[in-house]
């Protein structure tokens, strides 16, 4: 199962971690893993290209893990844009979890 851990602070979502393999299908054919990978990668890329933020990243292959966190010291505009991006990405994960609850869980 893939788990998505949501981190929050007083302003809302400040980080997401995607961990594990979904187990929906064989490696390379797992649509749940592919969707989760696309969402968390889009999150990191959008923080850079849209909000002009270099997020804190942690990426490991074993165990499979990608963590994206907001850095400190953001301007009000950057913080606003970053929270919208994180909230949008979380919505994507919620949609996947609703469709594939045995393979993706949000904690």
Q: What digits encode the pLDDT tens for the residues 45-78? A: 999 999 999 999 999 988 899 999 999 999 999 9
Distance (Å, rounded) from C-alpha 107 to C-alpha 104? 10
In this structure, is the dihedral angle defined by the CA atoms of residues 44, 49, 51 and 55, taken in order, positive or negative?
A: positive
**Pairing mode, strands 2-9 and 12-19:** antiparallel
Task: Encode pLDDT of 19-35 as tens digits.
Answer: 999 988 888 898 999 99
Greatest distance between any 2 Cα atoms in the chain: 44
In the prediction, which pLDDT does 62 show? 87
Q: What is the pTM of this model?
A: 0.93
The domain ranges of the chain are 2-101
Residue 86 pLDDT > 90: yes
2-101 has which fold?
Alpha-Beta Plaits (3.30.70)
From the list 27, 28, 13, the residue with the least C-alpha distance to 93 is 13
In the prediction, which pLDDT does 23 show? 85
In the prediction, which pLDDT does 27 show? 81
């Amino acid at each position: 199962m893939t788990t998505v851990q949501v981190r929050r602070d007083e302003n809302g979502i400040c980080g997401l971690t995607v961990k594990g393999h979904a187990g929906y299908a064989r490696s390379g054919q797992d649509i749940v893993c592919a969707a989760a990978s696309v969402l968390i990668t889009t999150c990191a890329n959008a923080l850079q290209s849209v909000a002009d933020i270099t997020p804190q990243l942690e990426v490991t292959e074993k165990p499979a893990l990608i963590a994206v966190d907001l850095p400190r010291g953001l301007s009000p505009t950057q913080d606003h844009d970053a929270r919208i991006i994180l909230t949008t990405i979380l919505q994507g994960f919620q949609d996947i979890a609703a469709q594939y609850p045995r393979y993706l869980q949000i904690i």
